[in-house]
Chains A and B, each alone.
Chain A
Amino acid sequence: MLRELHRIWRNPRYFILMTLGVVFTFVFFATVTREGQPTKLSVAVVDMDGSYLSRRICHEMEATQGVSVKAVYNNHSEARKAMQRGEIFAFYEIPKGTYNDLLQFRSPHFVLYVNSAYMLAGTLSYKQLATMGMLATGAVQREVYRKKGYKDEQIMGLIQPVEYDTRNIGNPWINYGNYLMTTLIPAVIAFIVLMHTSYIISRERQEKTLKNWLSRANGNPFYALIGKMLPYTVWYVFLCLLANLIMFGFMGFPLEGSWMLMVLNSILLIFAAQSAGCFIAGSIPDPPLAMGISAIYSAMSFSLSGFSFPVESMPTFLYSFAWLYPIRHYYQNFCDIAIFGNGFSHCWPRFCALLAFGVLIVAGALMMQWQVNREKRLAVQQYKRDAV
């Protein structure tokens, strides 16, 4: 361990770089998702009617917070081209003769086109415009009822017989910052930990200082690995906790359950990621190959953790594959602790799973021992051959 500290001290470049990487990612997501949801999305209107009513609709669209009307087009193809250029995310098409139809009690048809190739922008602008459409319809109905002499309260009951009262557990404001950061930041940290672990082991091989390293641990690769990991464990656990503290403490994201469990969760995540790194780098003797495999393995952790798209909806064989990723267990624990406020009784299987990753350190150590022994054997054979 002292040797590793000395190594960090001598060449702190990558250590600092990785820390900066974590900080950079944190700052990036914090600043980008500051508003919670993107606002003022560009939308447009294709106004073929050109009447008082269609103008009024434009104004009402402009007045909603989520969207802003970028342009008014005269025909469908212009709007479609603008959409293909990515200038607008949605547009309302108001057909010719709408106002007349309305006056003569022939229901006119409005068409709302949404570009859903952009997931978030499409969904949000759809939500805003569809709500506005409903309200506009409601406003017309209300006028009719008012003229018939109903009271406002009764009118609401008539226009909207049933409504939803939504309670969003764990993220009441539908804040994307809350949703993304609480899982993405630990995922990035786990990713960096894994890569860094396999990097420092590979580096020993590359610099041919493996023997020196092992001899410092009396030739026992298990102790050698543990000693090497320890400074990084402490540092990354500190970073992870700091990130959690900022998110749940200062940024005010809700944390239902206990802090202690969250701390335990973070520690185990770092531990498991390090174990996986030890195993990969310990068992593959070719350093570049080890790095490549670690990268290929961990690049999929973001998808298979299941917070962007639920793992339950993926094909079944991938469902079991997701268990190979520490971040998956962390994420499930996180849901239990932060969102539902469940206690240890719910989390313990996943804690055990994360602990079980520790077996990988032993496996990695055994593989390294085997390699060292083989090298020795080969050297002895070579020596004998030379002697003969």
Chain B
Amino acid sequence: MINTLKDIWTVFSIEVRRVFGDRMVLLIFFLAPLLYPFIFCFIYHNENVENMSIAVVDEAQCEESKRFIHKLDATPELTVSYRCSNLGEARWLMDNHDVRSVFYFPKDFSSRLAELRTARVVVFSDMSSFYFYKAALTGGNAVLIDEMHQIEMERYERAGLGNEEAQIQMQPVVMENSTLFNPTGGYGSFFLPCLMMLVIHQTLFLGICILSGDARENRKSLKLIPPHLRRGSIHRVTFGRSLCYLIIYVPICILDLWFIPRWFNLPQLGNLYTILIFLLPFILAVIFFGMAVGNLVVRQKISPMLCFVFFSLVLFFITGMVWPQESLPRFWLLFSYLFPSTPGVQGYVKISSMGAQLSEVRTEYMVLWIQAAVYFAVATLTLGIQTFIRRRQNILTHNLRRVRFEGVGVLTENPLAETDRTNETITKTETKTL
């Protein structure tokens, strides 16, 4: 037991020195997770589009249309910045992006109202961003409902009904809405919690991949493992290293996932204890996942940056926060469970935005532990196999050298040059076999 702890401590201290000795890893482990949350919180500080400028084309020129336009202007989402005399002008404004939406009241607007037929308002909206559309829709709908009530009320009054009676006639059932967990319905409150988790996932994963790429490229992966651990106790190496990353990432997680959401007034219903308990398997799963991928595919120090960063977008999309999990094609759903980010983001959002307890995120929690266990096994196995191959090669090299020297019988004048050359040829063959 004490031996195990000692070994873990040795590996741990080697790893800490590596992390703090590498500028790129420092950049990714510390700068990125500290910088991104702040920048993104600033970017999405205004949760919704406010006072979007619109144009109105009022060909009806009646009392109702004027009132309608006033109400549109009064909504928080919309501002009537142009009043055009015809659709051509409005179209021109729209082409120049001066307005994002056009409300058009045709000539027959008032006559239709008077004839008790449905009057029509034509809305043109810019679909280049869904937020323009959403703003036009929300603001417009609020006015529409209000206006409909007012018109109906007036009619009932003219028919001689009292206020209360008219209300019941108009609205036999009252519909109330209540948006839970993201009261403003804003983009920031939805996006930022997912983003924080993804940032942590990606930085930790990349950092580990870079470290293992560095070891491979500079041929020091064997040196980093203490000699007595190379044979049977390779799991202690995995443990020691993961302990190092874990200790670095717990404070970062607390800052990113607990303090920053408070400072920027994001929805935060969970408590720190639950979040931490949930994060433990998440961080472990990411660490072992990173190690497994690093051992399996990464050969260069800088290639992980090239290959995995753009993948964040896909990861974000398959977490199920954007596109609901049940609407994902089956293949992609299974694919998404390869990554710890999927249950991680789901679980964190449920705990922090929706105030779930651990019992409600049981599935995600279990999946994370399973992932951690599987990736731990993969990481240890691959590391073990690699060490085994390296050692075999080293022994072979050693024997080869001995055979050469002894076979020739006489040492050449400069034995060092000879060994260097063999070393070179062997490293070349090694690269080929790898």
A120 touches B302 (CB 8 A): no
> Is B24 part of the binding interface, using a Cβ–Cβ cutoff of 8 Å?
yes
Given contacts A102-B172, A110-B176, A163-B121, contact A32 B329 (CB under 8 A): yes
> Is A358 part of the binding interface, using a Cβ–Cβ cutoff of 8 Å?
no
CA distance A21 to B118 in the complex (A): 52
B175 touches A133 (CB 8 A): yes
Most buried by A among B132, B187, B326: B326
List CB contacts (< 8 Å) of A5-49 with chain B: 14, 17-18, 21, 24-25, 28-29, 31-35, 38-42
A295 touches B324 (CB 8 A): no
> Is A154 part of the binding interface, using a Cβ–Cβ cutoff of 8 Å?
yes
> Is A264 part of the binding interface, using a Cβ–Cβ cutoff of 8 Å?
no
> Is B129 part of the binding interface, using a Cβ–Cβ cutoff of 8 Å?
yes
B303 touches A199 (CB 8 A): yes
> Is A299 part of the binding interface, using a Cβ–Cβ cutoff of 8 Å?
yes
> Is B263 part of the binding interface, using a Cβ–Cβ cutoff of 8 Å?
no
CA distance A65 to B314 in the complex (A): 27
Chain A: minimal CB distance from B26 (Å) = 9
> Is B122 part of the binding interface, using a Cβ–Cβ cutoff of 8 Å?
yes
A28 nearest in chain B by CB position = B314
Which among A136-144, A209-217, A232-240, A372-380 touches the partner chain? A136-144
B173 touches A137 (CB 8 A): yes
> Is A107 part of the binding interface, using a Cβ–Cβ cutoff of 8 Å?
yes
Q: Which residues of A contact B311 (CB under 8 A)?
A: 21
CA distance A136 to B311 in the complex (A): 45
- Count how many pairs of residues, one from A and one from B, have CB atoms less than 8 Å apart in the complex: 313
B116 touches A157 (CB 8 A): yes
A32 touches B328 (CB 8 A): yes
What sequence of 0s and 1s flags, for each residue 96-117 of chain A, a beta carbon within 8 Å of any chain B beta carbon?
0010001001111111111111
What sequence of 0s and 1s flags, for each residue 324-348 of chain B, a beta carbon within 8 Å of any chain A beta carbon?
1011110010000000000000100
B327 nearest in chain A by CB position = A38
Question: When the two chains form the complex, which single residue of A21, A107, A164 contacts B167, counting CB atoms closer than 8 Å?
Answer: A107
CA distance A300 to B39 in the complex (A): 9
List CB contacts (< 8 Å) of A150-179 with chain B: 153-154, 156-158, 160-171, 174, 179
> Is A304 part of the binding interface, using a Cβ–Cβ cutoff of 8 Å?
yes
CA distance A83 to B363 in the complex (A): 14
B353 nearest in chain A by CB position = A117
Given contacts A114-B177, A166-B123, A287-B302, contact A313 B267 (CB under 8 A): no
Most buried by A among B42, B179, B190: B179
B329 touches A196 (CB 8 A): no
List CB contacts (< 8 Å) of A213-255 with chain B: none
> Is B309 part of the binding interface, using a Cβ–Cβ cutoff of 8 Å?
yes
Q: Which residues of B contact A134 (CB under 8 A)?
A: 175
B354 touches A130 (CB 8 A): no
B360 touches A130 (CB 8 A): no
Q: Which residues of B contact A29 (CB under 8 A)?
A: 317
CA distance A179 to B322 in the complex (A): 14
Q: Which residues of B contact A112 (CB under 8 A)?
A: 175-178
What sequence of 0s and 1s flags, for each residue 65-84 of chain A, a beta carbon within 8 Å of any chain B beta carbon?
00000000000000011011
CA distance A294 to B305 in the complex (A): 9
Q: Which residues of B contact A291 (CB under 8 A)?
A: 24, 302, 305-306
List CB contacts (< 8 Å) of B131-162 with chain A: 131-134, 140, 144, 147-148, 151-152, 155
Q: Which residues of A contact B122 (CB under 8 A)?
A: 164-167
B148 touches A161 (CB 8 A): yes
Chain A: minimal CB distance from B258 (Å) = 17
CA distance A111 to B122 in the complex (A): 30
Chain B: minimal CB distance from A128 (Å) = 13
Given contacts A122-B179, A160-B148, contact A184 B305 (CB under 8 A): no
CA distance A14 to B28 in the complex (A): 22
> Is A274 part of the binding interface, using a Cβ–Cβ cutoff of 8 Å?
no
Chain A: minimal CB distance from B43 (Å) = 5
> Is B235 part of the binding interface, using a Cβ–Cβ cutoff of 8 Å?
no
A156 nearest in chain B by CB position = B118
B120 nearest in chain A by CB position = A165
Given contacts A32-B328, A84-B350, A313-B49, contact A163 B360 (CB under 8 A): no
> Is A308 part of the binding interface, using a Cβ–Cβ cutoff of 8 Å?
yes
Given contacts A115-B354, A161-B118, A195-B305, contact A167 B124 (CB under 8 A): yes
B357 nearest in chain A by CB position = A84
> Is A64 part of the binding interface, using a Cβ–Cβ cutoff of 8 Å?
no
CA distance A299 to B130 in the complex (A): 22
Q: Which residues of B contact A300 (CB under 8 A)?
A: 39
List CB contacts (< 8 Å) of B271-320 with chain A: 301-303, 305-307, 309-314, 317-318
B332 touches A32 (CB 8 A): yes
A113 touches B178 (CB 8 A): yes
> Is A206 part of the binding interface, using a Cβ–Cβ cutoff of 8 Å?
yes
> Is A272 part of the binding interface, using a Cβ–Cβ cutoff of 8 Å?
no
Question: When the two chains form the complex, which single residue of B127, B148, B181 contacts A117, counting CB atoms closer than 8 Å?
Answer: B181
Q: Which residues of A contact B118 (CB under 8 A)?
A: 156-157, 160-163
What sequence of 0s and 1s flags, for each residue 25-56 of chain B, a beta carbon within 8 Å of any chain A beta carbon?
00110011001100110111110111000000
B352 nearest in chain A by CB position = A117
Q: Which residues of B contact A202 (CB under 8 A)?
A: 302
> Is B108 part of the binding interface, using a Cβ–Cβ cutoff of 8 Å?
no
Q: Which residues of B contact A35 (CB under 8 A)?
A: 327
A296 nearest in chain B by CB position = B32
Question: When the two chains form the complex, which single residue of B94, B115, B155 contacts A340, counting CB atoms closer than 8 Å?
Answer: B94
A85 touches B132 (CB 8 A): no
> Is B228 part of the binding interface, using a Cβ–Cβ cutoff of 8 Å?
no
> Is A357 part of the binding interface, using a Cβ–Cβ cutoff of 8 Å?
no
B151 touches A161 (CB 8 A): yes
B96 nearest in chain A by CB position = A346
Given contacts A110-B173, A113-B178, A118-B321, contact A85 B360 (CB under 8 A): yes
Q: Identify 12 residue pairs between A and B in the complex whose beta-carbon atoms are under 8 Å apart, listed by A's number.
A: A116-B179, A117-B181, A121-B324, A154-B117, A157-B115, A161-B119, A166-B125, A168-B125, A169-B125, A288-B22, A292-B28, A306-B129
Kindly list the 5 A-B residue pairs having the minimum CB-CB distance in the complex, ordered from nearest.
A288-B24, A38-B327, A171-B127, A84-B356, A116-B182
Other A-B contacts than A113-B180, A160-B148, 15 sampled, CB-CB below 8 A, are A25-B314, A32-B318, A42-B326, A81-B360, A106-B168, A108-B173, A115-B180, A123-B185, A162-B68, A164-B122, A174-B133, A286-B23, A288-B24, A310-B132, A318-B43
Chain B contact residues, CB within 8 Å of chain A? 22-24, 27-28, 31-32, 35-36, 39-40, 42-46, 48-50, 68, 94-97, 112-113, 115-134, 140, 144, 147-148, 151-152, 155, 167-182, 185, 187, 189-191, 210, 267, 301-303, 305-307, 309-314, 317-318, 321-324, 326-329, 332, 346, 349-350, 353-356, 360-361, 363
